[in-house]
Amino acid sequence: MSTVAPTLPLRNGADIPMLGLGTSPLVGGESVRQVRTALEAGYRLIDTAENYRNEDAVGQAIRESGIGRSEIFITTKFNRRWHSIDGVREAYGASLQRLGVDYIDLMLVHWPNPDQDRYVDAVQGLQAILEDGGLRAIGTSNFKPAHLQRVQEETGISPDVNQIQLSPYSTRSGAREYHSEHDIVTESWSPLGASSDALRNDPLITSLANDHGKSPTQVVLRWHVQLGLVVIPRSSNPGRMAENIDIFDFELTEEEMSKISSLDRGESVVTDSDQFGH
């Protein structure tokens, strides 16, 4: 029996599932199998990107699944070379063709690349496609509050979503607070920490897992969801995929949530988007 995640409303009217599938680094047939398995397990949010080189496989898996296009929420992202209003439209068209669909639910600026200084134009490009009806939501990825603030001040645009590296080892409280103040949904990538094993083996997490009769992974993913975050764990293992989405039948207490948040190690474990990007 499959589980379907609840959804969150986005500022531009779409509803995004609170748990989805991260598809990097698989490509080709492996990616097709991964996405089809996830869809069979109840996943309805699939996260891909130009840089993952698997948009074609994601689109093929969706077509082969037999599930209606309107039931699946597709997120993709574009690279720095497209950071202009016309460039974003070109990137959108290319992703549309690779995916083999006639619209994309959510498209993200993958990294701000402030050294290039064109991320404001990139967001404006997304807004133009949104207004034309080619997107249901627009977003950013790896943007810091300062990047988002500049976009808002120069254009008046706030994204539906900002996807950032976030886990109990890096809770990103400052970014989450900024997002909340500006009606931006936070989406967590690398939700189990840069090293999944370290967080899954953390004594606090394993203790809570035992208390709830759940796995350490399920406890961590439940923490994300109870914070009101969208979370996109990556897995190609059918058993783990089913385990990852099976987190909606238990609840962590406020005290347990606080204990997990206290594992925070700050920004030191996060990739610095002022220094890295593509």
Total count of domains within the chain: 1
Tens digit of each residue's pLDDT (9 = 90 or more) over 58-83:
999 999 999 999 999 999 999 999 99
Residue 277 lies in a domain: no
What range defines the domain where residue 59 resides? 12-265
Residue 31 lies in a domain: yes
Q: Are 244 and 221 in contact (CB under 8 A)?
A: yes
Dist CA 195 CA 190 (whole Å)? 9
pLDDT confidence bin for 1, thresholds 50/70/90 = low
Calculate helix-pair angle for 238-245, 28-40, nearest 10 degrees.
40
Query: Residue 178 maps to which CATH number?
Result: 3.20.20.100
- 178 as an active site residue: the answer is no
Is the pTM higher than 0.95?
yes
Task: Give every CB contact of residue 213 below 8 A, 6+ residues apart in sequence.
Answer: 250
Residue 270 lies in a domain: no
Assess whether pLDDT exceeds 90 at residue 195. Answer: no
Residue 5 lies in a domain: no
Question: What tokens were used for 42?
Answer: 């109840």
Question: What tokens were used for 50?
Answer: 């130009």
Instruction: Choose, from 43, 52, 92, 178, the residue flagged as catalytic.
Output: 52
Where are the alpha helices (H) located in the chain, listed in sequence order?
A: 28-40, 55-65, 85-99, 119-132, 145-155, 173-181, 196-200, 203-212, 216-226, 238-245, 254-261
